Amino acid sequence: MGTCQYCGRNGKTISGVIGFCAPCIRDHFEEIRPQIKSLHDRTRKAFQLPQDPPRNTGGLTCPLCMHGCQIPEGGTGFCGLRRVEDRHLRGGRPHEGNLSYYYDPLPTNCVASFVCPAGTGSGFPRYAVSKGPEYGYKNLAVFYHACSFNCLYCQNYHYKEQTALPSRLPAKKLAAAVDDTTTCICYFGGDPTPQILHALKASKIALSRKPGKILRICWETNGCVQEPYLSMMAELSLRSAGCIKFDLKGWNENIHYALCGVTNKKTLENFRKLSKIIPERPHPPFLIASTLLVPGYVDEEEVAPIARYIAGLNPEIPYSLLAFYPHFYLNDLPTTSRAHALRCKEIAERQGLHNVHIGNLHLLGEDYP
């Protein structure tokens, strides 16, 4: 049970860690911004990560994500990985992969599994090896140990402990992990953005080694990457029959900042940009959206405008609503209730979306008291 420090309201879906309810975050953000900022600062300091994107006028500018960090000599970017040594940007280059990888038997619990070739056989025989789920094949799951967001509910936060460790896996060695039964590569994390140079290089090498064979390049991302890298990601996914999965974490910018420590403007802008190239390959789906249903914070009031935005771009874009599990700093909230998920699915469909899915069904709990 948490209590809002602004209005005094209390309830099971108010996080005592955040300290404020969603309505107060939406409507009174300027008054409570200092406390929200202080919370994110503390969570970053705990992992020796910069509290803000550096803005050193004499530093080198990192071009990879929306932060555009100006990093001084000996300093690091907001992601904690990109750094300046001897007047050169290091970290995340093609020969410096800070990551872990594993083989995930298909079909997986991937966000896109309800529409992708690996989970459904969509696009067989051109894009899939079977008419249904690709049993007997596997995905190369690549987990990058860095991120450009600061999500308080991160399900994989342990990567933060490894972000600053020396990089160790060249792109060509990662590409060599693709074998005859690997039909897709999925980059996630963390997020691929701070190491997009490494991921692009590994993808190109892997594809060149499997000419004429199925190898889909997929991305699961917060969507804040800059051009030309966004277009490079899209090109690889389009021609390989892979997909780009955007995590649309919230619609209201204040809610998004409270949960993730950053703005959502670049994410929405990039999502719109990619939606324009869907006609180049309508099937299997190229662009997919997902939203984590955080109790008390990401509810119908967030899902409705997100779904309306997606539908306005293309109503065929698949949208997955994911059940929340209490974790990391937001460990004082309940799991998403079944009623919460069903209400959000219904409202998303009412906005005009044709393919709305509820993921992580096993996590759904009872309704909130």
Question: CA separation (Å) from 200 to 58, 138, 171, 186?
Answer: 29, 20, 9, 12
pLDDT at res. 230: 98
Q: What whole-number distance in Å separates Cα of residue 255 and Cα of residue 257?
A: 5
Chain mean position to CA 112:
13
Kindly indicate the confidence band of residue 201, based on its pLDDT and cuts at 50, 70 and 90: very high
Looking from the CA of 175 toward its CB, the CA atoms found within 13 Å total 18
Could you give phi then psi for residue 311, rounded to 5 degrees? -60, -35
The pLDDT of residue 165 is above 90: no
Is the whole model's pTM more than 0.85, yes or no? yes
Q: For residues 4-26, give the mean pLDDT.
A: 96
98-244 classified as CATH 3.20.20.70: yes
Closest CA to 292 of 149, 104, 106: 149
pLDDT at res. 365: 87
pLDDT at res. 164: 84
Residue for token digits 């190109």?
204
Q: Are strands 244-247 and 216-221 parallel, antiparallel or unpaired?
A: parallel
What CATH code would you report for 248-369?
A: 3.20.20.70
Question: Average pLDDT, whole number, for the chain?
Answer: 96
Kindly indicate the confidence band of residue 9, based on its pLDDT and cuts at 50, 70 and 90: very high
Q: What percent of the chain has pLDDT over 70?
A: 100
Q: What length is written for the chain?
A: 369
The pLDDT of residue 368 is above 90: no
- Please name the residues in contact with 173: beta carbons below 8 A apart, sequence gap of 6 or more: 97
The pLDDT of residue 167 is above 80: no
Residue for token digits 């691929």?
192
- Residue span(s) of the chain under CATH 3.20.20.70 come to 98-244, 248-369
Looking from the CA of 118 toward its CB, the CA atoms found within 13 Å total 30
Question: CA separation (Å) from 209 to 79, 178, 202, 206?
Answer: 32, 9, 11, 5
Q: What whole-number distance in Å separates Cα of residue 216 and Cα of residue 233?
A: 12
The pLDDT of residue 255 is above 80: yes
pLDDT at res. 166: 77
Q: For residues 53-69, give the mean pLDDT.
A: 96
pLDDT at res. 369: 72
Q: Per-residue pLDDT tens for 202-238?
A: 999 999 999 999 999 999 999 999 999 999 999 999 9
